[in-house]
Structure 1
Amino acid sequence: MTELDFDFLRVLLQRRSGLFLSIEKRYLVESRLGMLCRRRGIAGITALVVQLRTSPASDLEAAVIEAMTTNETLFFRDRMPFDLFRDVVLPEKLTANAESRTLRIWCAAVSTGQEAYSLAMLLDEVADRFAGWTIEILGTDISVEVLDRARQGLYSQFEVQRGLPIQLLLKHFRQEGDKWRLSERIRDMVKLRQHNLLEPNHQLGQFDVIFCRNVLIYFDVPTKARVMAALAERLARNGAFILGAAETVIGITTTLVPDPQHRGIYRDAASSPQARRPTFPTPAETSSAFSSRKIARP
């Protein structure tokens, strides 16, 4: 791969996906796109670049973005955001949205679905509290390939061992050979669709809760600011915005500010902070995701 090839790919990936590649990531480009070339019978990365130059916005370009996207995820990743969702966000929404009886949740960059399905399992544990409500959980990702995997809800032994409590594994999964299939009931709670965070999102509507975790770390500062501004526009007044443990809004946007009472939650700066206390406990082993269906009382 020549310097010109690498520069072209860096610009393409940042423009189309927001992914910022430093010079130190050249080895990653060579490794991942080298495999793509072999699968497609392309002579090498230089030949790949030639095809990309002559056929912009092609399926090959989409395949390059797919190959370079990092899809690391696991059930109940980092735990604390899910505890906040269960102990802080759900109780406050139970009160704040009592009249509309609706709850909308967006998991941006959902990858193979573990985050959204973790939230769905949490909601399932408190379904009686939300009987008659319309609960919507949306999971989006730039990668069509990982969304297809998420829809299948089929995970390896390694994947279900990473963060998923044994009680939830036995309750919501069935074994199929050496893999585990998530129940159709939990999968039906989550709607999955392809969406690029760099593209307009107004068609998605407003959300009471937005999870956008461990994706902004791959963007440069201007791209982070652009994405954060777009996401903040989708957050309903007094909604909850949750980032990854290594991410922050400080220096990126003034539209969202840290919740002074609950570390890890960010709020619309225009909304006045309110005291928020948990009103119902759930076992530490529980977790849940996004849905667009009525939750019936068990």
Structure 2
Amino acid sequence: MSVQIYKRGKIWHYRGTVAGRRSRGTCGTSDKKTAQRIAAEVEAASWRRHLDGPAAHVTFAQAAIAYRNAGKSDRFLAKIEDHWRDAAIREISAGAIRNSSLKLYPNAKGATHNRQVIVPTQAIINFAAELEWCPPIKVKRFKTSTKTKIPATRDWISAFSDQAIADGLPHLAALAYFMFGTGARRGEACGLLWADIDLFNKKAVIHQSKIEDTRIAHMPQAVVVAIANISSNRNEDEHVFGYATGESVGQVWGNVCKRAGIAKLTPHSCRHGFATTMLQAGIDPKTVAMRGGWKDVATVMKHYAHAMDDPTVTDVLFDTPVTHTQAGKQASN
């Protein structure tokens, strides 16, 4: 039965079955000709949905709402949603997504285009594909230039902290120690509240913004001491290091580096140093990833495992107590 109209009081309504699916609603009018036109449009739309599939009518906004409701990360989504609004998913091509990144961030580099537009946009559409709303999509990433990241070392942290304390910034010194000693990201460390700190048991609850999870981090003694030095008059609802956001650390951080006469490393270099120092100390990558809050070992190996320049490092293949003794005898002769 096609969609038919009928009157209820003064208002016309429609009902019927199209392609095996029932359709019913109000035309919202007392005029019969208008009601007939509305019913015809409802029937035509029902056939389009049946023939074209859901992707023909699901909008990006609807897909984004479903994505958020599923508990997925909403990082970088605001600009993307404003750009696509009610565009049908079927009209969004891989090329259009790449162009949208250039429009949203015209002065950004490839890594930013990939991270803040291509990855989240593709994630929303592919989530909709899992719901059978549309086909999945694959978008070519922009080329990125690989920058050599310099990790912070224990000596660098010590020099930086000494200068920060001399400048009357003990909270900044404690922040550097905390990031280096726990692998916390800058934003995670700045978001730390006193309620998250247990100095007696050397533990801290870190709320990981990037992967939306929490982890319990062990604080080495040096970190505990640095935080204890700023713990007077503490309030559990206050930020431990006194910085509301990671962005507020940037300027003062660079000034301390300059006055200390040390390399101008970024706060993230502390997290980098955590991983690199652990790996060079012989801690296995899986443990480093777990203790530092990385989702997988591959990330740790790709970004933080640095090759050693010393060519004699291969001597370790035959390094035994016997070779140590022989080397000692040869040296004494």
TM-score scaled by length of structure 1: 0.27
User: In proportion to residue count, which structure has more strand?
Assistant: 1
TM-score scaled by length of structure 2: 0.25
* More RCO (CA 8 Å, sep 6+): 1
Task: Report the structure number with the largest CA radius of gyration.
Answer: 2
User: In proportion to residue count, which structure has more helix?
Assistant: 2
